[in-house]
Amino acid sequence: MNKPTIRQATIQDLQRIVSIFDSYREYFGQKKDQDMVEEFLFDRFEHLESVIFIAEQQDEVIGFAQLYPVFSSLTLQRVWLLNDFFIAEEFRGSGVGSQLFTAVKEFTLLTKSKGIELSVEHTNKKAWSFWEKQGFKQDKEFRYYFYKL
């Protein structure tokens, strides 16, 4: 297998990202809806609300990472929330995820940010293992809460 190309996506990549993004949502139990996905991603690009990196193999998008900026008022620094990270099933275990995350780390350094945070489902032990291999540590200092509307 050739080494994939990893790069930051632009709005011109929108159509190429929709399918894999919809597969990502389906993986987590959401109904497929490419029209809504396209609208959602268009808004993120249009309003500069997120940064998306893609992994490409022979003109096919085989993985992506989506980051959202968060700011710490205490440290006066940006933190990137790695909210979405997905590799197409047939490419898992091939090193694509590590290569994609390397691009995310380089971007974080380039933007002089404090770090990267993410959350993982309690039941997703494969993801725990992957992220711990990448150097992530479970936060023991803070307890996170969510208020559902």
Residue ranges of domains in the chain, CATH in brackets: 5-133 (3.40.630.30)
CA nearest 64: which of 27, 96, 26, 36? Answer: 96
CA nearest 117: which of 96, 141, 147, 95? Answer: 141
Coil, strand, or helix at residue 70?
strand
Dist. CA 23–CA 33, nearest whole Å: 10
Q: What is the mean pLDDT of residues 75-100?
A: 96
Dist. CA 68–CA 89, nearest whole Å: 24
Dist. CA 114–CA 78, nearest whole Å: 6
Dist. CA 96–CA 117, nearest whole Å: 20
Return the half-sphere exposure (C-beta side, CA atoms, 13 A cut-off) of residue 64. 25
Q: What is the mean pLDDT of residues 88-108?
A: 96
Quick: pLDDT tens for 25-74: 999 999 999 999 999 999 999 999 999 999 999 989 999 999 999 999 99
Q: Are 99 and 3 in contact (CB under 8 A)?
A: yes
Strand partners, 67: 51, 82
Give 2's pLDDT tier (boundaries 50, 70, 90).
confident
Quick: pLDDT tens for 104-128: 999 999 999 999 999 999 998 999 9
